[in-house]
Amino acid sequence: MATDHTNLSEYDKDSLPDASQLEIGLVVSEWNAEITNSLYKGAYKTLVDCGVWENNIYKMDVPGSFELIMGSKRMMKAQKLDAVIAIGSVIQGETRHFEFVCQAVAQGIKDLNVSTDTPVIFCVLTDDTIQQAQDRSGGKHGNKGVEAAIAAIRMATL
């Protein structure tokens, strides 16, 4: 696993650009809510810790990871944002559905990044087991939501 021996939650906020004026959207999948809520909390707390004002952080819930693409697009259309973080969790099941959803979400978020000037950060866990997802959403490997928040700040201030 790529995150073995890696804590995703480590960052140096003093090395980041000023984030106090940024407006960030968080689009959160309701599917696998235990995981996505942990990712959301990690991203939100990190954004605030790094200086983003709480009233400049916007949240939209969508039913599943596949819907993150449309949710991100709608959020960007509704207001001027400096970055969007798409938060989801897809866990391998017994069918190939996992592969189709993961590929479609990755391609859709890539397409948003290519077609708009607003960076959309991919914070979608694609794990084989619920344990792997837990380990990467606040467990032994930290919280990938933290990593996504740092990426959002860095991309928004390029």
The answer to whether residues 89 and 125 touch, using CB atoms and an 8 Å cutoff, is yes
Cα gap 151→132, rounded to integer Å:
22
Catalytic-residue membership of 97: yes
Which of 77, 97, 110, 140 is an active site residue? 97
Tokens of 136: 């990467």
Distance CA(145)–CA(69), nearest Å, equals: 17
Whether the Cβ atoms of residue 46 and residue 11 lie closer than 8 Å to each other: yes
11: phi then psi, degrees, rounded to nearest 5: -155, 160
Strand duo 137-139 + 24-29: pairing? unpaired
Compute the CA torsion angle 60, 140, 46, 64 (nearest 10 deg). Answer: -10
How far is it, in rounded angstroms, from Cα 102 to Cα 92? 10
Catalytic residues: 97
